[in-house]
Chains A and B, each alone.
Chain A
Amino acid sequence: MAKPKGQLENNIRTLRFHHNEMSQKALAEAVGVSRQTIVAIEAAKYSPSLELAFLIANVFETPLEEVFSYTPAPPKK
């Protein structure tokens, strides 16, 4: 049986606001993806690759663990 998946969350929206109110489009161009991909990442509907996660963290000059957080799924009783 497959292990239940946890939840990958991020605070990209907040970081964008604090970086001169960067737009989603500007962030997308900075990391080389489409604006829709940034929208999906912010909504936690798409989990970025490790490389893309690092690129996003580098844009904000912030450690990766301050941009993304992972909450494991509760263990089944």
Chain B
Amino acid sequence: MSYHERNIVVYVITGIIVMAVYTLNMQGIIEAGLLEGPDAGPTIGWSVIKLIGGSIIATIIVTIIVTIINAIITKETDVDTSDERDKQIDLIGMKVAFIAFSVMFISIFLWLMFGLTPALALVGMIYAMWFSSIIESVVRLYLYRMGF
């Protein structure tokens, strides 16, 4: 597995772990009714700030662990270089992620028409961004594995 493929796998695993913790947190918030009053905005804001902070910390920890394990097993040190092919794969991934996010974005607004609360719509946008980034990672990993 190349350096870039390994980075993508780390990103996906970290994202799933962080979003699982975020989902448990949000479930508690929703059950406590904190998204229905005037404090819904600050509650969501704080949850996003914690999500971003948690993502950064989790990514750093997982990356360090994977890098050390990889160095021990393969006895190789990777060099962080991106060439034209890596950039082209990144662009294709971004294009697919943009399309995916656009579809989810419109879906959320349609859902709003049918009674979804604005607070839940905002939470839905957060999940839409996360899910589209996962789709981007999957597309990039698929292109790398297919030898593009």
Contacts and interface: CB of A to CB of B under 8 A. Distances in A.
Interface of A: 32-34, 36-37, 39-40, 43, 45-46, 48-49, 52
A34 B147 contact: no
B55 to A, nearest CB: 27
Contact of A45 (B83, B84, B86, B146): B146
A40 B148 contact: yes
Contacts of A33: 83-85
A46 B2 contact: no
B74 interface: no
Q: Which residue, of B83, B86, B146, has the highest number of chain A Cβ atoms within 10 A?
A: B83
Contacts of A37: 83-86
Interface residues of B, number: 11
B130 to A, nearest CB: 28
Contacts, number: 32
Q: Is the interface of B mostly helix, strand, loop or mixed?
A: loop
Nearest to B81: A34
Interface of B: 2, 81, 83-86, 88, 144, 146-148
Q: Is the interface of A mostly helix, strand, loop or mixed?
A: loop
A36 B2 contact: yes
B2 A43 contact: no
B2 A48 contact: no
14 contacts: A32-B83, A33-B84, A34-B85, A36-B85, A37-B83, A40-B85, A40-B147, A40-B148, A45-B146, A45-B147, A46-B85, A48-B84, A49-B84, A52-B84
A34 B146 contact: no
Contacts of B148: 40, 45-46
A38 to B, nearest CB: 10
